[in-house]
Structure 1
Amino acid sequence: MTTKEKVLSFLEQNRGQHISGAKIAEALEVSRNTVWKSIKQLEKEGYDIEAITNKGYSLSESSNQMSEVGIRECLSESRKKASIYYYDLIDSTNKRAKELAIEGASHGTLVIANEQSAGIGRYGRHFESPKDTGIYMSVILKPDEFTYSHPTLITSYTAVVVANVVKELTGKELGIKWVNDLFYEGKKVCGILTEAMTDFESGAMAWMVLGIGLNVSTEESTFSPDVQQKAGRVLSDEDMLVSRNQLVASIYDTLLSLHKELDEVSMMASYKEKSMVMNKKVLIHQGKNEFYATVRDIDQSGQLIIETTEGNLQTFNSGEIRVVVN
């Protein structure tokens, strides 16, 4: 850890409190001038640090700058040494995570970025990922260390985790739109993408990469005109009482622990409770075909049970749906 990172870690641990440069220098066993230079570097990088004569330095409680150091400080004690790859800018966290998985990265390896230039959504679509306001994270999962193995169930579980964490930290209620999107106040705020790789020789699943893109405070005007019509954000400027570091750490911690105690039945019950499509009329897109139906249930494997306009019940497990507003 560099001196600058040590100073940031110290400020994160004492967020909101003013501490003199002398005390910081003493705690880190460096000179006051070194502390001052580190503070100046952090300020240039966008950290909101308040300096008051005779009181010292303080990292603002409302500072929303994301960093590996900040994330680690918010992690549970057992995960503070997790393998984390942080990037200010990257093409795609899922792409990087897949590269790391091929190289033998361990279960729970986290790839996190402040901005993506080529974020990936379902069916290879571009996932817009503006800087400084969102969370773009990917986690490598090993099947033998994770309760769920089917991509649909992992996606469903992750949606439940994200919704629970957002509710706990912000009080905001997110709705889940089958299968991989979360909405707030009628607009999409989160997308989840699960990608799996099988072992060539055995044919068994070797690892999975779970990607999460969450619009924390991204203003609609930041997105392209087409996306502006669909995308929203979880928090307004006035709501920013929780940092992105806290959200990332809590999502990551919960993701890697809750599956051990949440069986498929309980998980799907929670998923259905948060679902925004249950008993709703939807327009289903499947390839070149589209038709109307009503969602009657979601089974234990995450498939929709739909009722067609003719009154027939069918299982639906691929494609996309759009809730019809009457």
Structure 2
Amino acid sequence: MATQTEVLKFLMQTAPDYYSGDDLAQQIGVSRTAIWKAIQSLQAAGYSIESRHGLGYRYVANNQLSAPVIMAGLAGPVQPKLITLDQVDSTNAYLKRLAVTEPLTEPTVVVADTQTGGYGRFGRPFYSPSSTGVYLSIGLPIKAGAPFDPGLLTTGTAVAVAKTLDQLFDVTVALKWVNDVLVNHHKVVGILSEATTDLESGQISTVIVGIGINLTLPTGDFPVDLKQKAGAVTTELTVTRNQVVSTLLSEFFTSYQTYTTGDFMADYRRLSMVIGQQVELKTGATTITGVVNDIDATGALVVQLPTGEVQHLSSGEITKVNLLTGGYRG
């Protein structure tokens, strides 16, 4: 496995150029036969590695999720522990189980090709077909007494996702408070933050931020009950899923260093689709109707009720937005 990782590393560094087998063997300090076996294993694992007589081997990026490729593309102050899975019930659920058996001591990311039991807020199922999306969860250890703000973490994550899509795709992104990301008036990203607590202290010990992105339309389109509201970022991928994950994690961890300051809120307001709009919001058993005046520095929704009273709402769900323009009716 170590030889495979080193071979992949060298080929990625020299891509799209070829790298000779003899040079690879010399660089890594193994036999030419070991290089050949490593190439065979990498190809069997789904990596696209081309060989050409007289030139050697070269790496060609593809849609196969790969921890080494994702890590090689990371920029920023944090290098998390990264786990890639072909299939899982839910990346959030996986991390919650992991945090119980092995308390997290460093940021840990789980990325899966598909989820069989992905879920969003209020336990709603999140459709997670293979090959067409990015499904990941970020586990963040929280030290006792350390500042933590769930509202700002969720809104900061939404901005990190929006910046990622803006960098990699020619799309216009809008944010529906608090955790929905829309493209072309359809939801393309869901964000769910959850926490686990220390049994002895009762304090939050780990926060898990789940992000599901519909990059392209699945084969056969979305299920009937999702087609009206769900959509995809693009009709054709021009970047790999590894690039999407690397860019997203780089944006997330850069923002996470200072997220409690709310220094991203100007971007969140700029991208918001609800400021100035009439909304219907459900918080607990109460339904509130009013016009969104602003989103305050803590990420709370500032809503003016028909009576003229202004409320700051830090939790709840917008169940209806009446836009003056555009096609969104969710």
TM-score (norm 2): 0.86
Does residue 174 (structure 1) correspond to residue 173 (structure 2)? The answer is yes
Q: Which letter does structure 1 place at the counterpart of 2:110?
A: V
Structure-1 residue corresponding to 2:266: 269
**Closer/same/farther in 2, CA of residues 288 and 265 from structure 1, 3 Å limit:** closer
Structure-2 residue corresponding to 1:248: 245
The answer on whether the counterparts of 2:104 and 2:140 sit within 8 Å (CA) in structure 1 is: no
Write out aligned runs for 1:30-109 (5 A).
Answer: 30-61=30-61, 63-76=62-75, 79-80=78-79, 82-102=80-100, 103-109=102-108
Q: CA deviation at 1:7?
A: 2.5
The answer on whether the counterparts of 1:139 and 1:209 sit within 8 Å (CA) in structure 2 is: yes
Write out aligned runs for 1:94-173 (5 A).
Answer: 94-102=92-100, 103-144=102-143, 149-173=148-172
Structure-2 residue corresponding to 1:315: 312
C-alpha distance in 1 between matches for 2:297 and 2:222: 36
The answer on whether the counterparts of 1:219 and 1:232 sit within 8 Å (CA) in structure 2 is: no
Unaligned runs of 5+ in 2: 325-330
Structure-2 residue corresponding to 1:186: 185
Structure-1 residue corresponding to 2:328: none
Write out aligned runs for 1:286-305 (5 A).
Answer: 286=283, 290=287, 292-305=289-302
Structure-2 residue corresponding to 1:203: 202
Q: Which letter does structure 1 place at the counterpart of 2:141?
A: K
Greater shift, 209-218 or 22-31, is seen at 22-31
Q: CA deviation at 1:186?
A: 1.3
Unaligned runs of 5+ in 1: none
Greater shift, 257-266 or 116-125, is seen at 257-266
Runs of 4+ aligned structure 1 residues displaced above 6 Å come to none
The answer on whether the counterparts of 1:193 and 1:211 sit within 8 Å (CA) in structure 2 is: yes
Q: CA deviation at 1:288?
A: 6.3
Q: CA deviation at 1:222?
A: 4.4
C-alpha distance in 2 between matches for 1:248 and 1:222: 23
3-state SS in 1 of match to 2:303 = strand
- Structure number having the greater helix percentage: 1
Greater shift, 302-311 or 281-290, is seen at 281-290
C-alpha distance in 2 between matches for 1:98 and 1:213: 17
The answer on whether the counterparts of 2:109 and 2:137 sit within 8 Å (CA) in structure 1 is: yes
C-alpha distance in 1 between matches for 2:144 and 2:263: 19
C-alpha distance in 2 between matches for 1:169 and 1:146: 37
| 1:162-191 Cα distance to aligned partner (Å, 9 max, x none) | 112222333543211111111111111111
Structure-2 residue corresponding to 1:232: 231
The answer on whether the counterparts of 2:159 and 2:268 sit within 8 Å (CA) in structure 1 is: yes
C-alpha distance in 2 between matches for 1:126 and 1:15: 39
Structure-1 residue corresponding to 2:8: 8
**Closer/same/farther in 2, CA of residues 59 and 264 from structure 1, 3 Å limit:** same
The answer on whether the counterparts of 2:175 and 2:268 sit within 8 Å (CA) in structure 1 is: yes
C-alpha distance in 1 between matches for 2:216 and 2:14: 24
Q: CA deviation at 1:38?
A: 3.2
3-state SS in 1 of match to 2:110 = strand
3-state SS in 2 of match to 1:221 = coil
C-alpha distance in 2 between matches for 1:278 and 1:35: 58
Structure-1 residue corresponding to 2:276: 279
| 1:181-205 Cα distance to aligned partner (Å, 9 max, x none) | 1111111111111101233443332
C-alpha distance in 1 between matches for 2:129 and 2:277: 32
C-alpha distance in 1 between matches for 2:299 and 2:217: 30
Identity value in percent: 35
**Closer/same/farther in 2, CA of residues 115 and 145 from structure 1, 3 Å limit:** farther
C-alpha distance in 2 between matches for 1:30 and 1:48: 22
C-alpha distance in 1 between matches for 2:231 and 2:262: 31
Q: CA deviation at 1:291?
A: 5.6
C-alpha distance in 1 between matches for 2:235 and 2:20: 32
